[in-house]
């Protein structure tokens, strides 16, 4: 069966520090991969999605970037964190564009 | 810009009561999904509706997709404390690209 792993679960980082969040999927190949951000108790905002290795689409201008160095690995990064980058970050995968999403358990990022 | 308006944002009811959550948009969606999320976890898919007028039932939950595929509702009959959580609707507006627009979510609390 397919599983998605996302880490770390929580992270506290100072303003101006770099960020690297990692997401990996097991049990499938060539998945569509997504990074979402969620405000507390609210809906999700799509940040990035990828349909293949090295193929990244950005949905909103921001201080973050994404990379897909391997088929089942998706990384969210920042060179210098801002206070406004705080939030709950969710990675998700789907077997195809028309399939529902399967989410990881998220990373709670607090920028201090 | 596509928007998905979800209402109500908060709902606190007693065990055994019925409730309905609405999801409305001015855009036509190729499909619409409902997710449920527990605190500190990622959303989990409940159902996908694709055809206008479609009704799907999942135990005490009834999901309906509007005839014009612009709106959807989730009805819970005889709510239980275990139904407590954040309910999210998400529409695929880009013709099965997997780029979902999420509603703002409905926080449901069912008191025993």
Of B82, B89, B93, B94, the C-alpha closest to B105 is: B89
- Nearest-neighbour CA in chain B from A93: distance (Å): 10
Cα–Cα dist A49/A74, whole Å: 9
Confidence of residue B1 (pLDDT cuts 50, 70, 90): low
- Interface touch B98/A49, C-beta < 8 Å: yes
Chain B residues 58-97 with a CB less than 8 Å from chain A: 86, 88, 90, 92, 96-97
Contact of A76 with A48, CB cutoff 8 Å: yes
pLDDT tens per residue across span B39-48: 889 999 999 9
pLDDT tens per residue across span A20-50: 999 999 999 999 999 999 987 778 999 999 9
Note whether A77 contacts B: Cβ–Cβ < 8 A: no
Note whether A40 contacts B: Cβ–Cβ < 8 A: no
Taking phi over 0 as left and psi of -120 to 50 as alpha, with beta for the rest, A30 belongs to left
Lowest mean pLDDT among A50-64, B3-17, B56-70: A50-64
């Amino acid at each position: 069966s397919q599983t998605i792993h996302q880490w770390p679960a929580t992270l506290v980082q100072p303003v101006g520090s770099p960020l690297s969040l990692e997401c990996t999927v097991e049990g499938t190949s060539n998945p569509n991969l997504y990074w979402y951000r969620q405000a507390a108790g609210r809906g999700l905002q799509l940040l990035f999605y990828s349909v293949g290795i090295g193929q990244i689409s950005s949905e909103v201008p921001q201080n973050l970037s994404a990379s897909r160095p391997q088929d089942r690995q998706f990384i969210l990064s920042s060179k210098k964190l801002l206070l406004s980058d705080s939030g709950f970050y969710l990675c998700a995968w789907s077997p195809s564009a028309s399939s529902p999403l399967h989410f990881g358990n998220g990373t709670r990022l607090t920028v201090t | 810009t596509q928007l998905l308006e979800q209402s109500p944002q908060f709902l606190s009811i007693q065990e055994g009561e019925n409730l309905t959550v609405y999801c409305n948009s001015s855009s036509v969606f190729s499909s619409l999904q409902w997710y449920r999320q527990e605190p500190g976890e990622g959303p989990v898919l409940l159902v996908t509706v694709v055809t206008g007028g479609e009704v799907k039932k999942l135990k005490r939950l009834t999901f309906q997709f509007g005839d014009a595929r612009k709106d959807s509702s989730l009805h819970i009959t005889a709510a239980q404390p275990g139904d407590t959580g954040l309910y999210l609707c998400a529409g695929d507006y880009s013709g099965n690209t997997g780029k979902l627009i999420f509603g703002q979510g409905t926080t449901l609390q069912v008191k025993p």
